[in-house]
Amino acid sequence: MRRLRIMVVDDSGLTVKKMAKLLEELGHEVVHVAATGQQAVDAYPGVAPDLVTMDITMPDMDGIEATRRILATAPSALVIIVTSHGQEQMVMDAIEAGAKGYILKPVKKEKLVETLETVTAKYLS
């Protein structure tokens, strides 16, 4: 699998640290970290990452709205939701907003690998 440039969006410093460690262990590069949905939307065009991991519950703008806004200006953006919310409505909202994957916390390495491989094969090959 190719080395991906990834933007991590999460308001929890702890999660960011764990996610960054996991991604780097898998050979990817965390090119930007955003702590709110608005920061992610603002940073996306300049960073132009291969993929975004997006939390849902964040101050100022939630991850579903941020996903929607990123995709409105960059339709080919690849966003994977990484959240603790497993409610059906939340899942459907995220998919409808255009997310390409949905991973629940705590993030298991195998699940992350599987999702990244699936998304990469479908949209980046």
Partner 1 sequence: MNASMLESALLRTHFDVIPFGIYVVDVTSLELVFVNKHFRERMGEAVSGKCYEVIYASDRPCPHCRIAELLTPEGMPNGETVVYDQYNEHDERWCQLQEKTMGWPDGRVVKYSIAVDISELKETQNRLAEAHAALALRNRELADQNRILQENIHLREHVERIAKHDLKAPLSALIGLPRLLLDNYDLPGEATRMVELIEQAGQNMLEMLNQSLILYKLETDTYALASEPLDLLELVRDVAGRLSGSSLGQMRRVRVSLDGREPQPGERLLFSGDPLLCRPLLQNLLQNALEATPVAGEVRVDVRSGRDAVAIALTNPGEVPEAIRGRMFEKYVTQGKRGGTGLGAYSAALAARAHGGRVRLDASQPGATTVLVTLPTGQDVAV
Give the phi and the psi of residue 6 in degrees, each rounded to 5: -120, 140
Q: For the CB of residue 113, give the shortest distance to partner 1 in the complex, in Å.
A: 14
When the beta carbons of 47 and 103 are compared against partner 1, the nearer one is 103
Q: Which C-beta is closer to partner 1: that of 31 or that of 104? A: 104
Alpha-carbon Rg for the chain in angstroms: 13
Residue with Cβ nearer partner 1 (74 or 91): 91
By beta-carbon proximity to partner 1, the closer residue of 47 and 104 is 104
State how far Cα 36 lies from the chain centre: 12
List interacting residues with partner 1 (CB under 8 A): 12, 14-15, 57, 59, 84, 86-88, 91-92, 94-95, 100-106, 111
| Shortest distance, position 46 Cβ to partner 1, whole Å | 28
Grouping H, G, I as helix, E, B as strand and the rest as coil, residue 80 is: strand
Nearest distance, CB of residue 95 and partner 1, angstroms: 4
Cβ partners under 8 Å of residue 55, min gap 6: 9, 10, 11, 12, 15, 63, 81, 82, 83
